[in-house]
């Protein structure tokens, strides 16, 4: 298995554990592959790059990968990523990545298998 991981802020804990977040959207082109297994972590730090990994919660199998522009994201992709709506998702992407409608993002749909 590749040593790749999704590192989510602890604010996503409930969404991930309830499986209402089954996708993520990252800035730029990220080359995950369908059927790839990824480790999934949570951190209590708001900025994951300044904190340490606190907890591994499971593994995810990548189901779908699409590289697209922010303007091409759909309502369904916003819902799968845990956002209330598309407008909120775009606002969050702008806050996190300083993105605009022309920014390139990678949409990744995954199936989370929680650790026991």
pLDDT digits (tens, 9 = 90+) for 31-84: 889 999 988 888 776 555 555 657 888 899 999 999 999 999 999 999 999 998
For range 80-101, the mean pLDDT: 93
From CA 14, how far away is CA 26, in angstroms rounded? 20
Q: What is the pLDDT of residue 48?
A: 52
At residue 61, φ and ψ (nearest 5 deg) are -105, 125
For range 91-97, the mean pLDDT: 91
Examine the pLDDT at 17 and tell me if it is beyond 90. Answer: no
Give the start-to-end residue ranges of the domains of the chain: 5-114
Angle at Cα 60 formed by Cα 65 and Cα 107, nearest 5°?
Answer: 25
Q: Indicate the SS3 state at residue 79.
A: helix
Q: How confident is the model at residue 3 (pLDDT cuts 50, 70, 90)?
A: very low
Burial label, 60 (beta-carbon count in 10 A; 0-12, 13-18, 19+): buried
**Given 3.40.50.150, 3.40.190.10, 3.30.300.30, 3.10.400.10, which CATH number is that of 5-114?**
3.10.400.10
């Amino acid at each position: 298995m590749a040593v790749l991981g999704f590192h989510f802020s602890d604010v996503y804990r409930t969404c991930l554990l309830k499986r209402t977040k089954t996708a993520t959207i990252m800035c730029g082109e990220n080359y995950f592959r369908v059927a790839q297994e990824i480790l999934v972590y949570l951190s209590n730090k708001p900025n994951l790059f300044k904190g340490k990994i606190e907890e591994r919660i499971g593994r995810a199998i990548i189901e779908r990968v699409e590289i697209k522009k922010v303007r091409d994201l759909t309502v369904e992709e916003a819902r799968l990523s845990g956002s209330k709506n598309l407008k909120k998702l775009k606002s969050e992407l702008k806050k996190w990545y300083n993105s605009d409608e022309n920014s390139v993002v990678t949409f990744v749909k995954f199936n989370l298998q929680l650790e026991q």
